[in-house]
Structure 1
Amino acid sequence: MSTDPSSGLDAIRSALLEADRVVITTHTRPDGDALGTEFAIAQALTALGKTVLCLNADPAPRNLDWLAEEQPPGMVQTYEAGNLDQAQAVAHADVLLVVDTNSEKRLGDVAKVFRQAGKPILLLDHHPDPESWFSVMHVQTDAAAAAEIAYDLIAGVDLDLIDRGVATALYVGIMTDTGSFRYSATTPKTHAVVADILERGDLKPEPIHVSLFDGKSRQGLSLLSMALGTIDTHYNGRLATIFVTQDMIRSSGAFFDETEGLINYALQLDGVLAAVIGLELTSGVKLSFRSKGDCPINKWAGRFGGGGHANASGAFVQNGQLQRTLKEVVDAAPSHVMADPSEITETSDELSQADLSLLAQFNGSL
Structure 2
Amino acid sequence: MDINKLEEIIKGHKKFVITTHANPDGDAIGSVIGFYHLLKSYGKEGKIISHSPLPEYLLFADTGNLLEWYSPGKHDEFISQAGVVVCLDFNNISRIHSMEQAVRASSAMKICIDHHQLPEDVFEWIYSDTLASSTCELVYRVIKAMNPNAFNKDAVQALYLGLVTDTGSFRFDRTTPEVHRMAADLIELGADMMLVTRNIYETGTLGRMKAIGEMITTMQIYGDKSEIAVIHITRDMLNRYGMSPEDTEGFEQYMMMINTVKVGVKIVDLKEGFKSSLRSKGAAEVHLIARKFGGGGHKNAAGIPKLFTPVDSFITEIVGEIKKYLSESKNEENQ
User: Once the two structures are superposed, what CA deviation does each residue of 1:142-166 show, in whole Å capped at 9, x if it has no partner?
Assistant: 1100000001111111223212111
SS of residue paired to 1:170: helix
3-state SS, counterpart of residue 113 of structure 2:
strand
Do residues 290 (structure 1) and 284 (structure 2) align? no
Deviation at 1:299, TM superposition (A): 0.7
SS at match of 2:121: coil
Which amino acid letter does the alignment assign opposite residue 72 of structure 2? A
DSSP 3-state at the match of 2:158 = helix
Instruction: Name the CA shift for 1:345/1:184 in 2 (closer, same or farther; >3 Å).
Output: closer
Listed as ranges, the matches of 1:60-79 within 5 Å are: 60-68=54-62, 70-71=63-64, 75-79=66-70
For residues 264 and 147 of structure 2, what CA distance do their matches in structure 1 show? 42
Q: Which amino acid aligns with 1:141?
A: T
Number of equivalenced pairs: 334
Residue identity matched to 2:25: D
Change in CA separation of 1:183 and 1:22 when aligned onto 2, cut-off 3 Å: same
Matches within 5 A, 1:196-211: 196-201=185-190, 203-211=191-199
Identity of aligned residues (%): 26
Q: Which residue of 1 aligns with 2:296?
A: 307
1:82 is paired with a residue of what secondary structure? helix
RMSD, aligned CA: 1.7
Render the CA deviation track for 1:166-208: whole Å, top value 9, x for unaligned.
Answer: 110110111101111101111111111111111122x331122
Match of 1:16 among 10, 25, 43: 10
1:284–1:316 CA contact under 8 A, matched in 2: no
- Secondary structure of 2:279's match? strand
Give the whole-Å Cα distance in 1 for the aligned partners of 2:6 and 2:87: 11
In 2, are the aligned partners of 1:306 and 1:314 still within 8 Å (CA)?
yes
Distance in structure 2 (CA, Å) of the matches to 1:330 and 1:234: 8
The answer for the alignment partner of 2:105 in structure 1 is 116
1:115 partner amino acid: R
Gaps of 5+ in 1: 1-5, 348-366
Rg larger in 1 or in 2? 1
Distance in 2 between residues matched to 1:345 and 1:29, nearest whole Å: 37
Q: 1:218 aligns with which of 206, 219, 223?
A: 206
Q: Which amino acid aligns with 1:80?
A: S
Question: How is 1:19-168 mapped onto 2 (pairs within 5 angstroms)?
Answer: 19-68=13-62, 70-71=63-64, 75-83=66-74, 86-168=75-157
Describe the shift of the 1:17–1:155 C-alpha distance in structure 2 as closer, same or farther (beyond 3 A).
farther
Secondary structure of 1:310 counterpart: coil
Residue aligned with 2:100, SS? helix
Q: Does 1:179 align with 2:168?
A: yes
Q: Which runs of 4+ in 1 moved over 6 A?
A: none
Are residue 255 (structure 1) and residue 244 (structure 2) matched?
Answer: yes
* Distance in 1 separating the partners of 2:126 and 2:167: 23
**Structure 2: gaps spanning 5 or more residues:** none
Tell me how far apart the structure 1 counterparts of residues 106 and 323 of structure 2 sit (CA, whole Å).
Answer: 41
Kept in 1: contact 2:245–2:269 (CA 8 A): no
SS in 2 for 1:52: strand
Q: Which residue of 2 aligns with 1:356?
A: none
**TM-score, with structure 2 as normaliser:** 0.94
